[in-house]
Amino acid sequence: MRRLPFNALKGVWLLAFWVLWSTSAVVLAQQDSITVWKAKLTKTTSDEKKIAILQDLVSELSVDNLEQAQKYAQQALDLAQKLKDDEIIARSLNDLGDVQQYQNNYQKALEYHKRAIQYSQRAKSSDDLAYAQSSIGVVYYYLGEYDKALEQLQQAYKIYQETNNASRIDECLRYLGSIYFIQADYDQALGYYLESLKYSERLNDENSRQLALNNVGIVYKKIKKNDKAVIYFKQALEVSQKAQLDDGIAGALTNLGAVYDDAKEYNKALDYYKQAVEIFQRLEEKNSEAIALNNIGIVHKNLKNYEKSLEYHAQSLKIKAEIGDRKGEAASLNSIGQTYLSRGDVKQALVYLRRGLRIADEIGVKEYEKEAYEYIAKAYAQNENYQRAYEYHQRYTTLRDSLFSSESLAKITSLQSKFKTEKKEKGLLLADKGKAIEALTNERNQWRRIAIGASALFLVLSVIVLVRLLRMRQRAKNTNKADVPASRSTSENHV
């Protein structure tokens, strides 16, 4: 490795100072903008101008102060209704729906967005109509009502294609891909994810790119092509690190941990998962934190640390129940059932596996249904109830064969060829090997010590400012998070 032409430690100090200064500048700029808009609001007499200012305030405050955002969104709606302007009413209703969604008040969000559809249709505003439809689709996605989500997202996607709204097309593609993935339609999921990757590169949007890379990797992991999955996960991690996207970093760490869990490299998997948990907790990302906690429980089960395993699964299940993540509940219940089965407690295993199966069946998550059938069959066999074991094993094999048909795998191969990913993957793999060789040089440990010292310094200097910025990021991002169990165990991926 070529030495830098200045003292390395001094350079790291300067870098830490620059990042701290930049972070402070972003936060101060946001505060200044809010102050300016509030001042303009008090001086403006025109209702139309007031509405425009209020909508700007809602957009800015939605990342940091939801109570204030809701207040200003309601004021904008009141003024729009006074003016009897259907288009502005629709926009204000969509703003109110977004604020409710950010607070996980999904039913309230649906009410606002459905009203927005009526007004946008009356105003013949295709953009506001598509926004309301896509927002309703996202809410249904988080409620686990996937057929309704598909219908709304596909309608919005069609409008956005007609208006050539690239950023909104990209978001629709991600959610559509995630729904098909949850429904175990992997060739459809891969098609949407690869299309999303193309849009993210066209938009030069690093957050969207890391999401697409992670999602493509997850499909490959699901069809047991972990060598390809790792390429995409590592690329997602690299993109996120360069762009300082903490949620992207944690998502890639979770996905890499699942790969190492599959490879039975349990200590490495635990290390990745614990790093991810720390980041998700800092970002207040409850859904993602619960996924990583569930995965830590799985690793402890594999290590036969059953009490620890149940402890982590219980934490995960509690969070998922609190935020209304039914799909996540099914994953955690299956995991708890498997831990009890590994410990030899068949009765308790069946209790949790049946609960997991019931939820998975209700919301149509076939992958979790398959998993529950498999382990219920094992539980009955362990209890010497061979007739019941045979019945559930038959259900398992039927569903398994339908999910991993040769026709589906052929479609995935065709998609891979269509999007010309082979050449790109080889390039990424060669680059990854080059980095590995470079990492073996004698200077590796020296730089690691410097990095650790700089990280500690940076944490002390910037923690107060970063807490605010991280909350901004958490509210602002459009990530979709779907948790998916691995075939061998129930480790979940961050989608």
Check: CB of residue 297 under 8 Å from CB of residue 311. yes
**Statement: residue 11 has pLDDT above 80:** no
Give residue 47's pLDDT. 79
Of residues 53 and 30, more confidence is placed in: 53
Q: Which has the closest alpha carbon to 340: 377, 361, 309, 374?
A: 309
Phi-psi region of 284 (alpha: psi -120 to 50; beta: other; left: phi over 0): left
Q: What is the pLDDT of residues 323-370, one digit of tens each?
A: 889 999 999 999 999 999 999 999 999 999 999 999 999 999 999 999
Integer Cα distance of 283 and 481 in angstroms: 14
In this structure, of 122-131, 192-201, 449-458, 470-479, the range with the lowest mean pLDDT score is: 470-479
Q: What is the pLDDT of residues 266-293, one digit of tens each?
A: 999 999 999 999 999 999 899 999 999 9
Q: What is the pLDDT of residues 47-58, one digit of tens each?
A: 788 888 888 888
Residue 18 exposed, middle or buried by CB count within 10 Å (0-12, 13-18, 19+): exposed
Give residue 31's pLDDT. 54
Integer Cα distance of 352 and 355 in angstroms: 5
pTM above 0.85, yes or no: no
Give residue 49's pLDDT. 86
Label residue 116 by pLDDT band (50, 70, 90): very high
**Statement: residue 419 has pLDDT above 80:** no
Label residue 43 by pLDDT band (50, 70, 90): low
Handedness of CA 151, 156, 162, 165 (dihedral sign): negative
Q: What is the pLDDT of residues 191-250, one digit of tens each?
A: 999 999 999 999 999 999 999 999 999 999 999 999 999 999 999 999 999 999 999 999
Give residue 10's pLDDT. 45
Check: CB of residue 352 under 8 Å from CB of residue 334. yes
Q: Which two tokens stand for residue 284?
A: 């207040």
Check: CB of residue 182 under 8 Å from CB of residue 146. yes
**Statement: residue 470 has pLDDT above 50:** no
Check: CB of residue 412 under 8 Å from CB of residue 188. no
Give residue 405's pLDDT. 65
Check: CB of residue 23 under 8 Å from CB of residue 466. yes
Q: Which two tokens stand for residue 377?
A: 């069959």
**Statement: residue 7 has pLDDT above 80:** no
Mean pLDDT (whole number) for 405-413:
59
Give residue 423's pLDDT. 52
Give residue 263's pLDDT. 94
Q: Which has the closest alpha carbon to 228: 209, 212, 250, 213?
A: 213
